[in-house]
């Protein structure tokens, strides 16, 4: 089949950029090569196989085992969440907050692919960081990603139950913990519930279990002046505010998505914000 014929076939199911991505993955041709010679013939079999998998509901990121996040390439494994563009909002909020006063050390709880920590280490070249995950397999994937994105010398990845085994404090703690209520998981899109690991999604009965556990560990993890940033579910602002107050933290800033839902909250110990 010619490149052009294949492209047309891919476009029935895929966006323009996804169709080009699939062709590039399987042929190794650059966009310029494709435009220069659309009539060249290519082996269609692997590409049509990928298209079939995609039509069966497997996301391209799972077919190729990779995802772009914050302009960087991240490997995925069965044990890692497929990083979401939503989570780039957390990185953006942190970068804006620390642009004039970069953190020296960063803790990422529930690191998965390591995408948040690795993106932040790339933004703050003087910083070092620790990423923790309960999944040993996720930790292995995060280490590969740190290496492939040139921050491995500043990143330490540890298996653990949140920060339970840590005896260190940080300028900055970040986390995108699992926050989907257990009963909602079965209603999620097939591409999520069949491919993202349950450990990365399951926030317990009310979706808030991880916040409760992390907030209870948070105080000694922060250096004086330290801050913590959490991604939250679209309907969790009120409940995370209540939980943070119960743990004597204040939400001093929140960041909304394009639909107006708060998706990132910034916490400090309550005496620092002057509340109460």
Does residue 81 contact residue 61 with C-beta atoms inside 8 Å?
Answer: no
Tokens 């804006």 -> residue: 96
Q: What is the rounded CA–CA span in Å between residue 160 and residue 162? A: 6
Positions that interact with ligand SAM (CB under 6 A): 81, 83, 87, 110-113, 115-116, 132-135, 138, 161-162, 176-178, 199-200
Shortest distance, position 136 Cβ to ligand SAM, whole Å = 10
Cβ closest to ligand SAM, residue 119 vs residue 251 = 119
Shortest distance, position 76 Cβ to ligand SAM, whole Å = 10
Q: What is the rounded CA–CA span in Å between residue 41 and residue 51? A: 18
Cβ closest to ligand SAM, residue 56 vs residue 186 = 186
Exposure string for 214-227, b = 16+ CB within 10 A, e = fewer: bbebbeebbbeebb
Cβ closest to ligand SAM, residue 10 vs residue 138 = 138
Cβ closest to ligand SAM, residue 105 vs residue 135 = 135
Q: What is the rounded CA–CA span in Å between residue 225 and residue 268? A: 8
The gap from C-alpha 200 to its chain's centroid, in whole angstroms, comes to: 10
């Amino acid at each position: 089949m010619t490149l052009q014929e294949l492209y047309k076939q891919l476009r029935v199911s895929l966006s323009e950029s996804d169709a080009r991505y699939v062709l590039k993955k399987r042929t190794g041709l650059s966009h310029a090569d494709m435009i220069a010679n659309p009539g060249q013939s290519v082996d269609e079999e692997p590409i049509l196989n990928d298209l079939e998998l995609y039509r069966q509901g497997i996301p391209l990121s799972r077919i190729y085992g990779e995802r772009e996040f914050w302009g960087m390439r991240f490997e995925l494994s069965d044990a890692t969440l497929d990083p979401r563009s939503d989570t780039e909002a957390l990185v953006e909020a942190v970068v804006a907050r620390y642009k004039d006063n970069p953190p020296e050390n960063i803790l990422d709880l529930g690191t998965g692919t390591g995408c948040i920590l690795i993106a932040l280490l790339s933004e703050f070249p003087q910083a070092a960081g620790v990423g923790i995950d309960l999944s040993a397999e996720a930790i292995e994937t995060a280490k590969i990603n740190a290496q492939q994105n040139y921050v491995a010398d500043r990143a330490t990845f540890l298996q653990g139950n949140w920060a339970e085994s840590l005896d260190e404090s940080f300028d900055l703690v970040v986390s995108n913990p699992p926050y989907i209520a257990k009963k909602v998981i079965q209603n999620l899109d097939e591409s999520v519930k069949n491919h993202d690991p349950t450990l990365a999604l399951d926030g317990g009965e009310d979706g808030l279990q991880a916040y409760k556990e992390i907030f209870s560990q948070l105080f000694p993890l922060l250096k004086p002046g330290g801050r913590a940033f959490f991604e939250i579910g679209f309907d969790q602002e009120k409940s995370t505010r209540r939980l943070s107050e119960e743990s004597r933290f204040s939400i001093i800033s929140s960041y909304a998505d394009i639909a107006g839902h708060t998706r990132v909250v910034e916490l400090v110990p309550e005496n620092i914000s002057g509340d109460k």
